Structure 1
Amino acid sequence: MSRQLINRSEDLQRLASEGFAIRIEAGHLLVEEIPFLDENGCIRHGVFACPLDATDEATLPPRDHVMSFSGGMPHDRHGKPLAALGLTSPRCSVIGSLVFQHGFSNKLRGPRGPRSYESFYEKVITYGDIIIGEVQAIDPSATARVGALPTSDTENDPFVYPDSASARAGTVELASKFKDEIVAFIGLGGTGGYILDHVAKTPVCETRLIDGDRLYPFNTFRAPGAPHKSELQPPPYKVDYYAHRYGLIKRNIIPHAVNLTPETFYLLDRTTFAFVSIDPCPEKAAIMAELERRALPFVDSGMGLHKGSNGIGGTLRAVLSTEANRDRVRPHIPVDPGGRDPIYENNIQISDLNSLNANMAVQLWKSFRGFYADFGEPVWLYQVETRQFIREAA
């Protein structure tokens, strides 16, 4: 992806053709081998980084004027910190093995006042000229145009286009907690579809979709997005539809148009987490047992609804099961088909509740992996009638 994006983007291609050592990682443009002077007038080398605004086709004009820097504080030829850079806090702290200690805030000025950078080429050149100009006062041969284009780790980026949202928010280090995750989706009904919508925006390295059902028009009214009617003729398997839909943003989404049974338990091989979004049934008990046998952490989600004189009521449920709490949470995961809800099974259109239930499940997962601070219980309920969340002790 990074090489393709560089080749398709005029500003990045220009940087590369002029010899700048650029690469793309974690939604950032990195420019290496930037010479600068330390406080003693010695020449050292650092790395620029800034969030990369781009589509899968090409870069967009930078919306951010801040540049982060790794390698030390640049100084002028007199040994003073280079004030012309406009010192500020770095927007990113860690990308891979690079630690960014400094941030620069240099705003361009036009005839009518401050203006934005028109391209990443202009942004890199502007900051580079400020720093390298001082270096060349000591060594006229100093340059950042080293004629190198290193291979980027993001040739196998899990995203089709850069995750500039994490880059902008400074959460790249937290998001990296998911980079080795292989997630299994057991069931892609209304709630499972919304869980996928959220997980597809994280850098998990592989997503396995396991569901043997087809997507019919009535399913779409409690699922994320809006398929064109031609996509439902004939009705596709849910896993194929979702793999295509979310394949527009995410790589390595693998569909399996089967139900999870002892004959297909091999689909769980090498997985690191599972989302279970299926109704209580005899097969669910076997699935729970297999997940526990594999020591696989998972979140089970579901809802129990009823229709009364005042409208629909009931409870949403999300339960995090790990090796540390199996015995405590197991009673909170229904497997008895006698508890099935006829209101839900008749395809009542409650996409808002499906979405909310998915949010609960995903937050439990993210908290378990350390993305969110976690002081809550592994069993989380929501009461529809009172609109209250309940963190029930397991």
Structure 2
Amino acid sequence: MSQKPFSLSPDLKRLRDEGYFVQIRGGFLVMRDVPYVDTQKQVRVGTLISSLNMAGDVTQTPDTHVMHFDGDYPCGHNGAPIQQISHQSGPMVLGNGVTAQHSFSSKPEGGYPDYYQKMTTYAAILSGPAAVLKPDANARTFRVPDEEDDSIFNYTETASDRVGIGALTERLTAEKVGIIGLGGTGSYVLDFVAKTPVREIRLFDDDEFLQHNAFRSPGAASIEELREAPKKVDYLKSIYTKMHRGIATHPVALDAGHLHLLEGLTFAFLCIDAGDAKRGIIETLEALKISFVDVGMGLELVDGSLGGILRVTASTPAKRDHVHAGRIPFEGGGKDDVYASNIQVADLNCLNAVLAVIKWKKIKGFYRDLDQEHHCTYTTDGNMLLNGDLT
């Protein structure tokens, strides 16, 4: 992790300056080499782990007084467990390579004002008994960790670790995701995928980002940006590269001359409505053994209101037969559809993208998947959600 939080946050800087071995791992502040006493009255060292509450590169007031600890349960100098901080015990995989065996609770009146007070308070509770048995036992080791800025994000992602799903989020870190088509649904897919720690996001679209696109994509383009008529991939990268470092753009149509650009992907989202353009892409993805999700939207203007169906069809190396049995249309679509001319359906674009991203995360084991459906439809009239092609 970058050194910036330690230079910009007075509490973290003070911890380092006073010799505590502290580092940031994902959304956690970690203090290593903290001496404590075990039940055998032996002095050992463990690791204190706190969730981090940050605004950019600067720490905020700690969001909880609870602290995790990796080590045996700490005791007084007589070997009796320190019960006044007891909270929970049991192996915990916190994510980002961080594990713990216990959590402690010691809450001062008004809570902890900063991370210096929180970390040093717990360090003193644990190391005090150790100093009785071994006078030179001290958490202030003046050992500075080697910091590696290997995060795919430009700033610390604290949300997952704060709610205990960091280990689940790690299942996505090796992913190389392709998003084919950056119209309404594809742009929302990017919005959600860019907030996950996937290693790479490849964007494929040869169209320009024009006025109608602004009304069915996340965020709000300025009139100055629209006047420049940028490529969709470039416009969207300029937004999401502020957060995610792994975005690559390909302003091309995925025809026979460009299908090699799919090589190396681990997953793909097909978000193009022209069915005849999909065949070569899908055949290539299948040949490369790449799992994918294809999305579709069929709208109908009847009696002055819109109705229709959203579709999400998944394909994995273990199940592809349904794709060629009519689930994915390889004909039709394009500019003659009502969807292509009616731009005020950003909510349906977003919902279609949500269903697609949820399915991707289910395939990767992030979400529980009891039915393992490979085809799902949502009908606006009646709010009906149906699953099909189960495994």
The TM-score, its normalising length taken from structure 1, stands at 0.94
1:114-133 mapped onto 2 (5 Å cutoff)? 115-133=110-128
CA contact (8 A) 1:68 1:90 kept: no
Separation in structure 2 between the aligned mates of residue 246 and residue 90 of structure 1, nearest angstrom: 38
1:116-265 mapped onto 2 (5 Å cutoff)? 116-152=111-147, 155-265=149-259
Aligned to 2:93: 93
Q: Does 1:383 align with 2:354?
A: no
Amino acid at match of 2:261: L
Separation in structure 2 between the aligned mates of residue 364 and residue 77 of structure 1, nearest angstrom: 53
Separation in structure 2 between the aligned mates of residue 45 and residue 341 of structure 1, nearest angstrom: 69
Aligned to 2:57: 57
CA contact (8 A) 1:84 1:130 kept: no
Displacement of 1:128 in angstroms is: 0.6
Deviations along 1:281-319, one digit per CA (max 9) or x if unpaired, are 432111111111111000111101110016111110001
Separation in structure 1 between the aligned mates of residue 243 and residue 88 of structure 2, nearest angstrom: 33
Separation in structure 1 between the aligned mates of residue 303 and residue 220 of structure 2, nearest angstrom: 32
Displacement of 1:99 in angstroms is: 2.5
Aligned to 1:314: 308
**Aligned pairs, number:** 388
CA contact (8 A) 2:51 2:161 kept: yes
Q: Does 1:350 align with 2:339?
A: no
Q: Is the partner of 2:289 in helix, strand or coil?
A: coil
Aligned to 2:362: 367
Quick one: structure 1 residues 161 and 317, their matched pair in 2 at CA, closer, same or farther if it must change by over 3 Å? same
Separation in structure 2 between the aligned mates of residue 339 and residue 219 of structure 1, nearest angstrom: 15
CA contact (8 A) 1:25 1:152 kept: no
Displacement of 1:84 in angstroms is: 3.2
RMSD: 1.8
Amino acid at match of 1:222: R
Separation in structure 1 between the aligned mates of residue 27 and residue 90 of structure 2, nearest angstrom: 15
Aligned to 2:20: 20
Amino acid at match of 2:351: L
Amino acid at match of 2:34: I
Deviates more, 1:201-210 or 1:50-59: 50-59
Displacement of 1:164 in angstroms is: 1.1
1:106-121 mapped onto 2 (5 Å cutoff)? 106-109=106-109, 115-121=110-116
Displacement of 1:71 in angstroms is: 1.2
Displacement of 1:8 in angstroms is: 1.9
Unmatched tracts of structure 1, length 5 or more = 110-114
CA contact (8 A) 1:87 1:102 kept: yes
Displacement of 1:130 in angstroms is: 0.8
Deviates more, 1:279-288 or 1:119-128: 279-288
CA contact (8 A) 1:56 1:160 kept: no
Aligned to 1:112: none
CA contact (8 A) 2:62 2:113 kept: yes
Displacement of 1:328 in angstroms is: 2.1
Aligned to 1:31: 31
Separation in structure 2 between the aligned mates of residue 175 and residue 95 of structure 1, nearest angstrom: 8
1:294-313 mapped onto 2 (5 Å cutoff)? 294-309=288-303, 311-313=305-307
CA contact (8 A) 2:27 2:157 kept: yes
Aligned to 1:393: 389
Amino acid at match of 1:150: P
Separation in structure 2 between the aligned mates of residue 390 and residue 151 of structure 1, nearest angstrom: 51
Q: Does 1:280 align with 2:274?
A: yes
Q: Deviation above 4 Å: which 4+ runs of structure 1?
A: 89-92, 338-341
Amino acid at match of 2:385: F
Which among 245, 266, 271 is matched to residue 265 of structure 2?
Answer: 271
Deviates more, 1:94-103 or 1:129-138: 94-103
The TM-score, its normalising length taken from structure 2, stands at 0.95
Q: Is the partner of 1:222 in helix, strand or coil?
A: coil
Deviations along 1:39-68, one digit per CA (max 9) or x if unpaired, are 011011111111111133311111111110
Q: Is the partner of 1:360 in helix, strand or coil?
A: helix
Unmatched tracts of structure 2, length 5 or more = none
Q: Is the partner of 2:15 in helix, strand or coil?
A: helix
Q: Does 1:40 align with 2:6?
A: no
Separation in structure 1 between the aligned mates of residue 17 and residue 121 of structure 2, nearest angstrom: 17
Q: Is the partner of 1:39 in helix, strand or coil?
A: coil
Deviates more, 1:117-126 or 1:76-85: 76-85
Separation in structure 1 between the aligned mates of residue 34 and residue 205 of structure 2, nearest angstrom: 51
Quick one: structure 1 residues 15 and 303, their matched pair in 2 at CA, closer, same or farther if it must change by over 3 Å? same
Separation in structure 2 between the aligned mates of residue 224 and residue 151 of structure 1, nearest angstrom: 39
Displacement of 1:89 in angstroms is: 5.4
Deviations along 1:72-105, one digit per CA (max 9) or x if unpaired, are 1111112111123242358963334442110011
Amino acid at match of 2:382: T
Displacement of 1:144 in angstroms is: 1.1
Displacement of 1:179 in angstroms is: 0.5
Separation in structure 1 between the aligned mates of residue 92 and residue 336 of structure 2, nearest angstrom: 48
Separation in structure 1 between the aligned mates of residue 58 and residue 90 of structure 2, nearest angstrom: 25
